[in-house]
Chain A
Amino acid sequence: DAGVTQSPTHLIKTRGQHVTLRCSPISGHKSVSWYQQVLGQGPQFIFQYYEKEERGRGNFPDRFSARQFPNYSSELNVNALLLGDSALYLCASSSRWDSSYEQYFGPGTRLTVT
């Protein structure tokens, strides 16, 4: 069975641009969470979606937005990129919205903002 997949693997953008990152959860999983991991730090929670509804939002500016599609895949959008947005963006899927330990992480998208 395929695990969580994310695309693209790497991305280079310039300040002010917009970026869209994509995540496909494990088959049967309806919950997707997004995390940002800056180099040398632990992941920071951005959003959780379950059944296409936002279930949680971390302390990130409104430039960050996300959505979940009927097939449970998800997109994370970041507008007006800043240098500080350079990070590894991780997607995690779970079969339940109320179970933290079942989260499985994808390989991540490495975003570099120049």
Chain B
Amino acid sequence: QKEVEQNSGPLSVPEGAIASLNCTYSDRGSQSFFWYRQYSGKSPELIMFIYSNGDKEDGRFTAQLNKASQYVSLLIRDSQPSDSATYLCAFPPRGGTSYGKLTFGQGTILTVHP
């Protein structure tokens, strides 16, 4: 079983729609999660992190975490063509090990078409 899996893409949504990106993880002890956005040919940039069950909102982005079901999702409201990118979920190791190690999913390519 993979440590983290993301919903298969690519995902295509019309401009103005809600884009939903999902990620499941296998380690029940994982405490916090990150969503990175990576434009083609660029490096990943952190857009959201969440560590509590429930929702966390930041502008048009909402991260949702459900530890019982072991999934984390990212909703993008009012999607814009500039949101077209690969979205990566990631989580750090549990305490006592290298916090510099992030485990990433394979990424979901999102395309927002006008």
Contact = CB atoms under 8 A, between A and B. Distances in A.
Interface of A: 31-33, 35, 40-45, 48, 50, 55-58, 90, 92, 94, 96-101, 103, 105-108
30 contacts: A31-B100, A32-B100, A33-B101, A33-B102, A35-B102, A41-B106, A41-B107, A42-B106, A43-B44, A43-B102, A43-B104, A45-B101, A45-B103, A48-B101, A50-B100, A55-B98, A56-B100, A90-B43, A92-B100, A97-B98, A97-B100, A98-B99, A100-B101, A101-B34, A101-B46, A101-B92, A103-B100, A103-B102, A105-B45, A107-B43
Q: Is the interface of B mostly helix, strand, loop or mixed?
A: loop
6 A-B pairs with least C-beta separation: A56-B98, A42-B104, A48-B100, A100-B92, A33-B100, A105-B43
A99 B43 contact: no
Q: How large is the interface on B (under 10, 10 to 19, 20 to 34, 35 or more residues)?
A: 20 to 34
B88 interface: yes
Instruction: Name which of A43, A57, A100, A108 has the most chain B CB atoms within 10 A of its CB.
Output: A100
